């Protein structure tokens, strides 16, 4: 397998860890100074929190359920990542509404967001499942750091950082500034429990009035079982040198509570302790950590 550049901490941004393969100083500057236009929608996620799912929902809500785009264009073209080198090419001449993804922590996001420009959807997922999904993903995504064994990865996630920034910093940074933005907060777990209700919430937030038929089209298409086989979202279009499809799947399980199959009891207790300490005062953030028989 071809050697890829190692992920690198940007020297002047010590708390941001991004793989050089798709990011650069210029691409981060572009994101920070991004001139927001009327109609721009920003989907903000810490990695492994429901990014791809939201990309699919946004594409369909803003096209009134037209499936042609989701069948012909990969998610990273339809709702590109603002911080990546390809963003400018994708976004500059695009008609409104422009759909934009970002994993960036608040400090690196477009400055104009906190002036109330654009709409922001922040999707959060319980961080034990994020850790689990991220660990499996890091084993087959060759452009990320080798996660080592789970204990190493667990410690980085809890006490240090993994690709992008510490999870705690991400959620707190964005939610602390939510009053300055036009923001909708959704969670992965709520979408698992009530996809229909959350698609409606998202549509209402964006100003779309979906009829029953369109709503059903969107909900049926956006289930895990439907999306997992779509090569426009399951990353099988990405060559093996970047994602080793022989060792893992991007669309892995799509469940709530899979962390129980990976964490030891001691790790879970340590996670709870650190979570309680670091999230003290963030009373608005309440996660569902497990759902029996979730689909």
Could you list the residues that contact ligand PPS (CB under 6 A)? 45, 47-53, 129, 133, 136, 222-224, 227, 251-254, 258
CB 247 within 8 A of CB 136: no
In the chain, the N- to C-terminal Cα span, in Å, equals 36
Question: Smallest distance from the beta carbon of 129 to ligand PPS, in angstroms?
Answer: 6
When the beta carbons of 60 and 117 are compared against ligand PPS, the nearer one is 60
When the beta carbons of 208 and 224 are compared against ligand PPS, the nearer one is 224
Question: Smallest distance from the beta carbon of 25 to ligand PPS, in angstroms?
Answer: 22
Widest pairwise Cα distance in the chain: 51
Is 103 a residue of the active site?
yes
Q: How far is CA 287 from the centre of its chain?
A: 16
DSSP classification of residue 5: P
Neighbours of 57 (CB within 10 A): 26
When the beta carbons of 37 and 217 are compared against ligand PPS, the nearer one is 217
Rounded to whole angstroms, the Cα distance separating 282 from 176 reads 9
Burial class (CB in 10 A: 0-12, 13-18, 19+), 115: exposed
Rounded to whole angstroms, the Cα distance separating 258 from 242 reads 25
When the beta carbons of 183 and 191 are compared against ligand PPS, the nearer one is 191
Out of 13, 71, 73, 103, the active site residue is: 103
DSSP classification of residue 66: -
Question: Smallest distance from the beta carbon of 38 to ligand PPS, in angstroms?
Answer: 27
H-type helices in the chain, by residue range?
25-32, 51-61, 68-72, 75-78, 87-91, 127-140, 150-159, 167-176, 188-193, 195-206, 212-221, 224-227, 265-278
When the beta carbons of 117 and 154 are compared against ligand PPS, the nearer one is 154
Nearest alpha-carbon partner for 81 in 117, 122, 31: 31
Active-site positions read: 103
């Amino acid at each position: 397998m071809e050697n890829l550049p190692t992920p690198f901490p940007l020297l002047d941004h010590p708390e941001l860890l991004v793989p050089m393969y798709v990011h650069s100083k210029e691409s981060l500057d572009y994101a920070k100074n991004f001139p927001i236009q009327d109609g721009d929608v920003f989907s903000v996620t810490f990695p492994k929190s429901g990014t791809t799912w939201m990309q699919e929902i946004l594409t369909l809500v803003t096209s009134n359920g037209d499936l042609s785009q989701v069948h012909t264009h990969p998610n990273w073209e339809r709702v590109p990542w603002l911080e990546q080198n390809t963003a400018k090419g994708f976004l500059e001449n695009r008609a409104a509404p422009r759909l934009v993804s970002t994993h960036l922590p608040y400090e690196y996001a477009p400055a104009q967001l906190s002036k109330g420009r654009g709409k922001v959807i922040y999707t959060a997922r319980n961080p034990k499942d994020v850790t689990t999904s991220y660990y499996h993903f890091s084993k087959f995504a060759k452009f990320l750091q080798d996660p080592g064994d789970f204990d190493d990865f667990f410690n980085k996630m809890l006490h240090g950082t993994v690709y992008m920034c510490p999870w705690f910093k991400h959620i707190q940074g964005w939610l602390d500034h939510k009053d300055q933005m036009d923001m909708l907060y959704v969670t992965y777990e709520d979408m698992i429990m009530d996809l229909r209700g959350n698609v409606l919430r998202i549509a209402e937030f964006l100003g779309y009035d979906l009829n029953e038929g369109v709503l059903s089209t969107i909900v049926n298409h956006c289930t895990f079982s439907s999306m997992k086989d779509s090569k426009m979202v399951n990353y099988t279009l990405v060559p093996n040198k970047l994602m080793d499809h022989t060792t893992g799947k991007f669309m892995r399980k799509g469940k709530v509570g899979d962390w129980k199959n990976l964490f030891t009891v001691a790790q879970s207790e340590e996670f709870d302790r650190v979570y309680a300490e670091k999230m003290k005062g963030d009373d608005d953030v309440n996660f569902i950590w497990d759902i029996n028989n979730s689909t």
